């Protein structure tokens, strides 16, 4: 088989599975390289011995729902009619898309901001809808007049936005978010706020407009990243009550419910340990330090790394002369056993970019950088393109 033959599925799964099968350093998939909080594991051990091994309520564990409502009622008058526990944030986004597809009439487009997370790109593809990749300006800002025009002319009915972003960890400020909310109201667009990295900022907490929740807004979050439990698959969705009945009916026939033992253990932990504040703060510091470590090391090798303010990832442009991120990723893994994700997976306009996951122990990030340096020093030959621009 040609080693440069692109797989038919997700490049994230493909590159990550290389490490799982053959070893190496996984800077590809957004898997935390950290253990969950010890207290959480203790509650899991205790809960596993109790009679909580059958289906959980479809809407979610009652104690966990109450804790979430208590948290968010401080900013908005949510009730259980607004809330659903899901099998990770991915199921929440997929549920929403399936529901939107059912209620929207006629042809429509879906928008994300490039580079866009893979689910935003692939769901429209699965349903044979049009995906509009809206680009930032050269300075990283957003032209909202152009955005409004594109949405209107292209019949955009769904917009996905994540802040901090994935793969590009940009944080939207309050003025930008409010401008986006206004456009969604004016043009009757459903706005999906994907907030799984919301608490993993470096220095400035992202603004999320939960206090001004409205009938066009849908909020998705997860415990996977903040507690390093991506394998538990516990996320949640907040939606306007008038939509939730339809969303739950889809959930009943697809996800059904989230594992009972895991929900119960999580509810006990966040109640007893102040929502894991201490653990999250430590994780936040580690991510910030790892970003700076990776950024500095890559820049020494000739990469361009835009500054970000949060999340798991470094989004970097390859050194001059390297134009094919997929070839680079294949060669890097074959020669140095370091797995990364080519930028083409998130944007056809960014084939010469790479996404690096830095949610790993510092020693692993350092070793990954060392091997990347060895890859360049070994005489790897880039594909030349004198016409390339940033």
User: Model confidence over 242-273: pLDDT tens digits?
Assistant: 999 999 999 999 999 999 999 999 999 999 99
DSSP 3-state assignment of 23? coil
Average confidence (pLDDT) over 329-345: 96
Query: Among 39-53, 201-215, 265-279, 315-329, whose mean pLDDT is lowest?
Result: 201-215
Contact 346, 118 (CB under 8 A): yes
Distances (CA, A) of 18 to 122, 329, 333, 386: 22, 11, 8, 32
Contact 227, 273 (CB under 8 A): no
* Inter-helix orientation angle 241-253/88-103, to 10°: 110
Is the confidence at residue 9, as pLDDT, over 90?
no
Query: Among 1-15, 258-272, 292-306, whose mean pLDDT is lowest?
Result: 1-15
In CATH, the number for domain 51-272 is: 3.40.640.10
d(CA 163, CA 103): 27
pLDDT at 308: 92
d(CA 182, CA 2): 49
Residue 112 pairs with which residues in a beta bridge?
Answer: 133
Residue 386 pLDDT level (bands cut at 50, 70, 90):
very low
Share of the chain above pLDDT 70, in %: 96
Is the confidence at residue 2, as pLDDT, over 80?
no
pLDDT at 76: 85
Distances (CA, A) of 43 to 51, 62, 69: 14, 17, 22
Distances (CA, A) of 133 to 121, 130, 152, 346, 348: 9, 10, 14, 10, 9
Domains in the chain: boundaries: 11-30+278-377, 51-272
Residue 387 pLDDT level (bands cut at 50, 70, 90):
very low
d(CA 190, CA 158): 5
From edge to edge, which strands make up the β-sheet containing 353-357?
313-317, 353-357, 341-342
Which residue bears the tokens 């049009």?
130
Contact 265, 44 (CB under 8 A): yes
Same fold, 11-30+278-377 and 51-272: no
Average confidence (pLDDT) over 66-73: 94
Residue 380 pLDDT level (bands cut at 50, 70, 90):
low
Cis before residue 119, ω within 30 degrees of 0?
A: no
Contact 52, 262 (CB under 8 A): no
Distances (CA, A) of 220 to 16, 82, 180, 262, 279: 25, 12, 17, 19, 21
Secondary structure percentages of the chain, helix, strand, coil, to 5? 45, 15, 40
Q: Class of 11-30+278-377 per CATH?
A: alpha beta
Average confidence (pLDDT) over 45-56: 97
C-alpha 280, offset from chain centre = 17
Is the confidence at residue 49, as pLDDT, over 60?
yes
Q: What is the pLDDT of residues 213-238, one digit of tens each?
A: 899 999 999 999 999 999 999 999 99
Is the confidence at residue 77, as pLDDT, over 90?
no
Contact 303, 320 (CB under 8 A): no
Compute the chain's Rg from CA coordinates.
21
Counting other chains too, the contacts that 126-129 makes at CB distance below 8 Å and 24 or more residues apart are: 127/97, 127/101, 129/101
Contact 236, 253 (CB under 8 A): no
């Amino acid at each position: 088989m040609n080693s440069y033959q692109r797989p038919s599925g997700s490049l994230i799964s493909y590159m990550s599975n290389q490490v799982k099968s053959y070893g190496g350093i996984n800077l590809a998939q957004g898997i935390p390289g950290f253990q969950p909080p010890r207290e959480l594991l203790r509650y899991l051990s205790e809960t596993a011995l109790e009679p909580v091994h059958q289906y959980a309520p479809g809407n979610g564990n009652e104690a966990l729902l109450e804790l979430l409502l208590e948290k968010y009622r401080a900013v908005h008058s949510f009730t259980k009619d607004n809330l659903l526990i899901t099998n990770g944030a991915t199921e929440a986004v997929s549920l929403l898309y399936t529901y939107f597809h059912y209620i929207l009439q006629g042809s429509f487009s879906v928008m994300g901001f490039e580079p866009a997370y893979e689910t935003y790109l692939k769901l429209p593809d699965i349903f044979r809808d049009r995906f509009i990749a809206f680009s930032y300006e050269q300075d990283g800002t957003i032209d909202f007049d152009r955005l409004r025009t594109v949405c209107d002319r292209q019949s955009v009915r769904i917009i996905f936005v994540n802040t901090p972003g994935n793969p590009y960890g940009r944080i939207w400020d309050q003025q930008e978010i409010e401008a986006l909310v206004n456009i969604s109201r004016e043009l009757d667009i459903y706005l999906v706020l994907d907030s799984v990295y919301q608490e993993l900022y470096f220095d400035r907490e992202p603004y999320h407009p939960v206090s001004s929740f409205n009938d066009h807004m849908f909020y998705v979050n997860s415990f996977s990243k903040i507690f390093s439990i991506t394998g538990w698959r516990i996320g949640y969705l907040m939606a306007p009550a008038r939509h939730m009945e339809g969303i739950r009916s889809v959930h009943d026939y697809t996800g059904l419910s989230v594992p009972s033992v895991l929900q119960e253990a999580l509810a006990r932990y966040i109640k007893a340990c102040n929502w894991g504040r201490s653990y999250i703060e430590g994780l936040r510091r580690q991510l910030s330090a790892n970003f700076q470590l990776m950024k500095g090391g890559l820049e020494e090798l000739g990469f361009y790394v835009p500054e970000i303010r949060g999340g798991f990832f470094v989004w970097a442009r390859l050194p001059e002369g390297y134009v094919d991120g997929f070839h680079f990723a294949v060669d890097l893994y074959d020669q140095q056993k370091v797995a990364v994700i080519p930028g083409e997976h998130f944007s056809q306009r960014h084939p010469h970019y790479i996404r690096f996951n830095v949610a790993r122990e510092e020693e692993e990030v350092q070793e990954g950088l060392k091997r990347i340096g060895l890859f360049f020093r070994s005489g790897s030959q880039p594909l030349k393109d004198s016409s390339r621009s940033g």
